[in-house]
Structure 1
Amino acid sequence: MNPLEIGSMVKARYKTGAYIGRIKEERGKFYLVEVLAVLKHPQQGDLHNPKETEGVFFHERRALAHHEKANIPKSAVSAFTDDIPDYPASLRTALQQLREDLNGQPASAYRDLALSNMDSLEKDYFG
């Protein structure tokens, strides 16, 4: 496998989301990746206590913004060779996929809070 270089198009996993981006810099064990599209919207809630609502701070987790740069461990970055979708369209698709996943889960306090966050995020993202 060819090593990734500055300017390479990549798929990058960041926390619970996944993105398409371009490597801007190499920083030791990390790449600085510029976000160009969203593949998977981050899960809602507390990363350390997934799907819990009691006794935790339930975070609203936003997707990384278009052209936002993030330090991502090299182990979470791989080459991307497909077409890069438009950022707003990819964000809308990722948000809809997460909503469908949540709606497919049994009713729970987590699901209700996460769907409420999704409604708020959708209004914020798209007006």
Structure 2
Amino acid sequence: MDIGDVVTAIYKTGKYIGTITDERPEHYTVQILAVEKHPLQGDLHHPKQGNVGFFHERKALAFKEQANIPKKMVKPFTGKVPNYTESLVKSFIVYKQELEQNPENEYAQKSLQCLSSIQKEYEFMYSISFPN
């Protein structure tokens, strides 16, 4: 892959569409254009567990933010790049709906609390509304 190529990239637990802006021996620098999968909440080392020392709140990478991503986590993308805010809202809603399927689960409860805060931030930052 080369600088300028449009790719999908997995960063931590989120998946993004972006453009390669730089190449290093083991990483690509990818400029974010859209969100395919919203990052998971919680501890990266104990995925989907609610009873952890510190439960992390994770927002999606911002539009045009650049991230250094290991080459093995970057793949070519074909197709039309979606609008950033529309893709953010869609990925957020999909993740939230998945969590709402297990309302008794401690991980889901803590994640939904984080998402409530994140949603307010997204609405402010991007002047968007989420459906109820």
Task: Tell whether the structures are fold-level matches, with TM greater than 0.5.
Answer: yes
Give the shorter-chain TM-score range. over 0.9
Aligned identity (percent) is 46
Supply the RMSD in Å over aligned alpha carbons. 1.0
Aligned to 2:89: 92
- 2:77 pairs with one of 77, 80, 89: 80
TM superposition outliers: structure 1 runs of 4+ over 4 Å:
none
Moved more, 69-78 or 103-112: 103-112
* Counterpart code for 2:94: Q
Structure 1 gap segments, 5+ residues each: none
1:44-99 CA deviation, whole Å, 9 max, x = no partner? 00010112232420000110000000000110001111111111110000000100
Aligned to 2:4: 7
Partner of 1:107, secondary structure, is: coil
Using the size of structure 1 for normalisation, the TM-score is: 0.94
Structure 2 gap segments, 5+ residues each: 125-132
* Counterpart code for 1:12: A
Contact 2:46 2:52 in 1 (8 A): no
Aligned to 1:25: 22
Contact 1:49 1:56 in 2 (8 A): no
